[in-house]
Chains A and B, each alone.
Chain A
Amino acid sequence: DQQVKQNSPSLSVQEGRISILNCDYTNSMFDYFLWYKKYPAEGPTFLISISSIKDKNEDGRFTVFLNKSAKHLSLHIVPSQPGDSAVYFCAASPGVGGAGNQFYFGTGTSLTVIP
Chain B
Amino acid sequence: DAMVIQNPRYQVTQFGKPVTLSCSQTLNHNVMYWYQQKSSQAPKLLFHYYDKDFNNEADTPDNFQSRRPNTSFCFLDIRSPGLGDAAMYLCATSRDQSGGADIQYFGAGTRLSVL
Question: Which residues of A are at the interface with B, using a C-beta cutoff of 8 A?
Answer: 2, 4, 9, 32, 34, 36, 41-46, 49, 89, 93, 95-108
Please report the C-alpha to C-alpha distance between residue A2 and residue B44 in the assembled complex, in whole angstroms.
10
Decide yes or no: A43 and B109 within 8 Å by CB, A49-B101, A97-B98, A101-B102 being known contacts.
yes
Contact yes or no, B106 A45, CB < 8 A? yes
Chief secondary structure at chain A's binding surface: loop
Please report the C-alpha to C-alpha distance between residue A96 and residue B33 in the assembled complex, in whole angstroms.
17
Among B43, B101, B105, B108, the most chain A Cβ lie within 10 Å of the Cβ of B43
B19 CB–A CB distance under 8 Å:
no
Please report the C-alpha to C-alpha distance between residue A9 and residue B106 in the assembled complex, in whole angstroms.
22
Q: Which residues of A contact B107 (CB under 8 A)?
A: 43
Chief secondary structure at chain B's binding surface: loop
Please report the C-alpha to C-alpha distance between residue A73 and residue B72 in the assembled complex, in whole angstroms.
35
Contact with B42, one of A4, A95, A96, A100 (Cβ below 8 angstroms): A4
Contact yes or no, B48 A100, CB < 8 A? yes
Please report the C-alpha to C-alpha distance between residue A45 and residue B90 in the assembled complex, in whole angstroms.
12
B45 CB–A CB distance under 8 Å:
yes
Please report the C-alpha to C-alpha distance between residue A49 and residue B6 in the assembled complex, in whole angstroms.
25
Contact yes or no, A99 B30, CB < 8 A? yes
Q: Which residues of A contact B96 (CB under 8 A)?
A: 97-99
Please report the C-alpha to C-alpha distance between residue A101 and residue B31 in the assembled complex, in whole angstroms.
10
Q: Which residues of B contact A43 (CB under 8 A)?
A: 4, 6, 90, 92, 106-109
